[in-house]
Amino acid sequence: MKKKFYSWEEAMSLREVKSLKKLNHPNIIKLREVIRENDILYFIFEYMQENLYELMKDRDRYFPESVIRNIIYQVLQGLSFMHKNGFFHRDMKPENIMCNGTELVKIADFGLAREIRSKPPYTDYVSTRWYRAPEILLRSTSYNSPIDIWALGCIMAELYMLRPLFPGTSEMDQLFKIISILGTPNKDEWPEGYQLASAMNFRFQQVVATPMEQVVNTISKEGMKLMMDMMIWNPEKRPNAQQSLRYKYFQVAEKLGAPVVSQPAPGTVRKTSANSVKSDTKAMTAKAAKKDYVGSENVSPQQPSKLIERHANRNLPLNRASLFENTETKPLAPTKTNDTKQSAKEIYLSKSKYVPGQVSKDAGHNQIMTTNGLTGATKTTNFSAKKEGRTAVQTRFEYAYGYIPNFGAKPSATNHHPNNHSNTSSATNPAVGNNKMSNSGRVDWAAKYVK
């Protein structure tokens, strides 16, 4: 809150706090905590993923009518509870309807909420312009809960079209857009509207109503009936939230309303995880668990107490010592022995399929184990690279591929003389001789296949 609050009494007298303290419903956002720090007030609400506007703006195809029906049903449930308890919202719009996907929606932002029994006059600037009822646009100061029903009718049309129904740029333009679709209101049906219009020197245009089927062409007849009744010019003739829930639009063979998880029994206090030994999943699916998870701890005592491994650590009681009491099950993991813990290098060497140049610890001299890259045979060689006259390149190559290459030998005086022959270099350079001996075990692929 931007305003400074210098006492708790001042903070608790806020309309939003007063209304949310009284409104405990699955389709109304829950105020978890109020914090006042350095005269600044912070509200902590329950977490919701997104609002209805964010849910609509990223859509590239229309919502199924069953999804829209469930959303409108839940909003009407929240409005019915709110109006029944003496409050009306005054700022219904998609941004103030929070969602967890399309399965759960909750009404939020009660900053403009008022009590129905409070005395007029009310301010004429409420709600976002596109969802503002005509009586507010005509500067009425004695409006009431029907303005929430009008706003919901506009939201319902927007859910079907994925765009606003009356996107006015000003209050007068908003009225003109409403008249262009709904037509000019009948003076006999709404005399108060003409009185409000004459008081502000406004004259209704004589316009024939546009068939709503041309504007919202994906809605069913039952949905059209509900939506048009919500947007009747005369607020006294609009159905209230409880009456709207009885429309034929909701009489379908579908499950409507918030999920069971978000509907706690009235008057009950949910136990925290620290005070409960049962998780929410176990409490709600106890019957299903007895059928689906045969042998788990949820099974009745008549069945054999066979413990399934993946359920062993589920819903652990607070006293872990009694977890496996009176059971004959095998431990899920082997018991730890007193073996010394291996170092990271030992674990790496034990896991590696081939470790080039591994030096054995058992021998008193250098033993180098090498693997032939062609045959896969491993041999142990007792020599030193320096004594054998090999370079680091030759030694590493042998570690990797199992034989000594001809390249990478140390240059000598005889190697650079142009008159020296290969047999001379073999006699003078022991490394070359060793190369030939080591290479004799290689497969001569050219001789084998090229004849």
Whether residue 183 is found in the same domain as residue 112: yes
Instruction: Give the mean model confidence (pLDDT) for residues 195-223.
Output: 92
Tell me if 144 sits within 8 A of 88, measured CB to CB.
Answer: yes
- pLDDT tens-digit map of 130-144: 999 999 999 888 888
From CA 160, how far away is CA 216, in angstroms rounded? 7
Residue 376 lies in a domain: yes
- pLDDT tens-digit map of 265-292: 444 444 433 333 333 333 333 444 444 4
Structural domain count of the chain: 4
Whether residue 31 is found in the same domain as residue 62: no
Out of 176-185, 271-280, 297-306, least confident range: 271-280
From CA 325, how far away is CA 385, in angstroms rounded? 63
Of residues 448 and 437, the one with the higher pLDDT is 448
- pLDDT tens-digit map of 374-412: 565 666 655 555 556 677 777 777 767 767 777 666 665
From CA 383, how far away is CA 390, in angstroms rounded? 11
Answer whether residue 316 shows pLDDT above 50.
no
Q: Is 91 a catalytic residue?
A: yes
Q: Give the pLDDT band (50/70/90) at residue 343.
A: confident
Answer whether residue 359 shows pLDDT above 70.
no
Residue 272 lies in a domain: no
**What confidence score (pLDDT) does residue 341 get?**
75
Of residues 291 and 197, the one with the higher pLDDT is 197
Instruction: Give the mean model confidence (pLDDT) for residues 225-254.
Output: 95
Whether residue 27 is found in the same domain as residue 60: no
Q: Report the candidate in 190, 128, 126 with the shortest Cα–Cα distance to residue 158.
A: 128
**What confidence score (pLDDT) does residue 58 get?**
80
Q: DSSP for 261-330?
A: GG-PPTT--PPPTTT-SS-HHHHHSHHHHHHHSTTSTTS-TTS--PPPGGGTTTT--S-GGGTTTT--PP
Could you tell me the residue range of the domain that residue 296 belongs to?
283-319
**What confidence score (pLDDT) does residue 357 get?**
52
Whether residue 107 is found in the same domain as residue 140: yes
* Selected catalytic residue, list 39, 60, 91, 229: 91
Whether residue 290 is found in the same domain as residue 411: no
Write b or e for each residue in 302-327: b if 16 or more Cβ atoms lie within 10 A of its Cβ, otherwise e. Answer: eeeeebeeeebeebeeeeeeeeeeee
Whether residue 192 is found in the same domain as residue 238: yes
